[in-house]
Structure 1
């Protein structure tokens, strides 16, 4: 349940902040959300990966549709990629990896400041 809530928060904040700010603002969002909300490493990575990756892929697809794939076709020719839609997926993958590692960093940074319980012989 926390994964879904964290994913929605990261995705929504990324959606609203990304067009107004620099590209790495989404990574700051993922870092802060996973710092504030305690989670395991894999849970944080998946939330950041899907939250940022889906939003970036959606933005890339929206731009591609608005200019009728002219820009992506040109870039696909320059990069010698067969299909321009692969650029949309590559954008989502790059954004997802960056968001995943940012949220993993936020979760790990939080664990630096939390005290771990000492294990006793009786537990």
Structure 2
């Protein structure tokens, strides 16, 4: 349940931050979502990965279709790719990695300041 809530918060906050701020503002939204809603390492990473990857992929695909793929095709030629849709997919993967690592960084930042509740033999 925390995974779904964290993912939705990331998508909504990043969408509205991208309307007014640069692209890296989505990483800040993912960082704070990871810091606010606790979870496990893998769950936290994948919520940012899925949230920002999905958001960026959908937005890039909409821009690609609205413009007829003019810009993405030209950039794909620079990279030696045959079609501009590959650039849309690659940018979605990059955004997903940024989201995953940002959310994980926020979670680890929170964990850095929390106390360890389990008192083992050597603690």
For the aligned pair, the TM-score class normalised by the smaller chain equals over 0.9
Kindly tell me the number of residue pairs found equivalent between the two proteins.
121
How far does residue 119 in structure 1 lie from its aligned partner after superposition? 2.7
What is the TM-score normalised by the length of structure 2? 0.93
Q: Would the alpha carbon gap of residues 120 and 76 (structure 1) be closer, same or farther in structure 2, given more than 3 Å must change?
A: closer
What is the TM-score normalised by the length of structure 1? 0.93
Aligned residue for 2:90?
90
Aligned residue for 2:115?
115
How far does residue 83 in structure 1 lie from its aligned partner after superposition? 2.1
Q: Whole-Å Cα distance in 1 between the matches of residues 88 and 80 of structure 2?
A: 15
Q: Whole-Å Cα distance in 2 between the matches of residues 65 and 89 of structure 1?
A: 13
Aligned residue for 1:32?
32
Aligned residue for 1:9?
9
Q: Whole-Å Cα distance in 2 between the matches of residues 66 and 118 of structure 1?
A: 54
Unaligned runs of 5+ in 2: none
Q: Would the alpha carbon gap of residues 116 and 70 (structure 1) be closer, same or farther in structure 2, given more than 3 Å must change?
A: same
How far does residue 118 in structure 1 lie from its aligned partner after superposition? 4.0
Aligned residue for 2:54?
54
How far does residue 46 in structure 1 lie from its aligned partner after superposition? 0.4
Kindly provide the CA deviation profile for residues 26-45 of structure 1, in whole angstroms up to 9, marking residues without a partner as x. Answer: 00000001101111111110
Aligned residue for 1:44?
44
How far does residue 120 in structure 1 lie from its aligned partner after superposition? 5.2
Partner secondary structure for residue 98 of structure 2: helix
Aligned residue for 1:76?
76
Q: Whole-Å Cα distance in 1 between the matches of residues 78 and 111 of structure 2?
A: 44
Aligned residue for 1:20?
20
Aligned residue for 1:106?
106
